[in-house]
Amino acid sequence: MACTCSEAYNFAAGPAMLPAEVRRQLAEQLGHAAAGGVPLLEQPFTGAGFRGLMEETEALLRNLLGIPDDYAVLFMQGGASAQFALLPLNLLAAGQGAAYVETGHWARKAFVEACRHAPVRCAASGAATGYTSVPAPADWQVPADAGYCHLTSNETGNGLQMQDFPQLPVPLVADMTSDLLTRPLAVERFGAIYASTQKNLGVAGLCLVIIRRELLRPPRPGLPSAFSYAVLAEQNSRFNTPPTLALYCANRMLRWVAERGGVTAMAALCRQRSRLLYDCIDASALYRCAVRPDQRSAVNVCFELRDRPLSAVFFGQAEAHGLHHLQGHSALGGVRASLYNAMPLEGVERLVDFMREFESRHG
């Protein structure tokens, strides 16, 4: 039976759902004429209005994450996948290598792309376990002369999340696209952090890079200035026209997080949502999560139906109940419920109710 509730919940890994308040603000801003009679999204990016938006956005991010002054914050066009190439091109000297920890689908993609641009080695891999656990940091083989060690803090496709981060003799670089702002973070432990904004920070088209200033170096030959971390830092991310709509949305999302208690409050809600769903899975005879329990992702809950032919029926009936985009990554299959900051507890409660009802009928 189809759900009679008017509210629909988007469990997609990205672009993710936005809070209703942010959606309303975004719709209003598209037609709102600010001071001077021109909407903010139509103002010159070099003008005072848009500069003020960027400065406020950076200040909000710094305050929420406690970013030290010796780190630059860059607003870059494109997604995190572009950074897979830009990291070695920006952070490594000619001939210098880097180390990569392979924890799943996205860490593997970052490693393969980096291999095209620099000497890169795999410091550790979870492939032998099917990416169901994170390799122990004590087993990571990171050369002392590596320019950096790269990791993916949360694997959206595999449902695996690093719970803490080691201190290494080389700069630690992290792709935090899917879990930035979902838990407190010791930024000073990292050389660089990057994250696309379409999961916890708004819409697609913008990527944040938080980088220790001492790692900034002049562009190497062949690296376009628009993709140089040093140039972007010097130009306050206004070397060329920034993605104005994505920046505005990130600003409103950061405000939304700050108004609701900041990252600590987001972390508590994240734990509550994921615990509710994992408890349902673990108590079930139909659903199964293969990821090691203490390393399960709190933001991308990946599981499968033991009776796999039922999956298509599960997805179809979930859609009818207002539970959208629960299909797992196209390369990996299974079920995936993405529980980013904008997902209300009510959405997970409805999913759990549906899952229990579905099992009672098909289990």
pLDDT at 1: 42
Q: What's residue 31's pLDDT?
A: 66
Residue of 106, 109, 139, 307 marked catalytic? 106
From 69, 164, 175, 179, the catalytic residue:
175
d(CA 40, CA 37): 9
Helix axes 48-65, 244-259, angle to 10 degrees: 40
DSSP state of 167: -
Give catalytic status of residue 145 as yes or no: no
Neighbours of 281 (CB within 10 A): 19
Output the pLDDT for position 25.
87
Q: Where do the domains of the chain lie, and which CATH numbers do they carry?
A: 24-259 (3.40.640.10), 262-362 (3.90.1150.10)
Q: What is the C-alpha to C-alpha distance for residues 337 and 299, in angstroms, rounded to an integer?
A: 8
| Residues whose CB is less than 8 angstroms from the CB of residue 49 and which lie 6 or more positions away in sequence, other chains included | 34, 35, 36, 40, 43
- Whether the CB-CB separation of 336 and 2 falls below 8 Å is answered with no
Encoding tokens for residue 95? 């001939």
3-state DSSP call for residue 111? helix
Helix spans in the chain (H): 20-31, 48-65, 80-91, 105-115, 229-234, 244-259, 262-282, 311-320, 345-362
List all residues 6 or more positions away from 228 whose beta carbon is below 8 Å from its beta carbon.
90, 218, 219
Q: Are 133 and 295 in contact (CB under 8 A)?
A: yes
Q: In this structure, how many other beta carbons lie within 10 angstroms of the beta carbon of residue 121?
A: 14
Q: What is the pLDDT of residue 123?
A: 97
Residue 192's SS3 state is: strand
pTM, to two decimals: 0.94
Cβ(302)–Cβ(335) below 8 Å: yes
Task: Identify the pLDDT of residue 28.
Answer: 80
Q: What is the DSSP string of 171-221?
A: -EEEE-TTTTTSS---GGG-SEEEEESTTTSSSTTEEEEEEEGGG--PPPT
Q: For residues 235 and 214, what is the distance between their CA atoms, to the nearest angstrom?
A: 17
- Residue 137 in contact with residue 82, Cβ under 8 Å? no
Q: Are 155 and 183 in contact (CB under 8 A)?
A: no
**pLDDT of the chain, 363 residues: tens digit per residue:** 445 456 899 999 999 999 999 999 888 877 665 655 667 778 788 888 889 999 999 999 999 999 999 999 999 998 899 999 999 999 999 889 999 999 999 999 999 999 999 999 999 999 999 999 999 999 999 999 999 999 999 999 999 999 999 999 999 999 999 999 999 999 999 999 999 999 999 999 999 999 999 999 999 888 999 999 999 999 999 999 999 989 999 999 999 999 999 999 999 999 999 999 999 999 999 999 999 999 999 999 999 999 999 999 999 999 999 999 999 998 889 999 999 999 999 999 999 999 999 999 996
Confidence (pLDDT) at 88: 97
CB 12 within 8 A of CB 338: yes
179 is catalytic: no
pLDDT for 2 equals 46
Active-site residue, from 199, 279, 294, 307: 199
Distance CA 207, CA 232 (A): 13
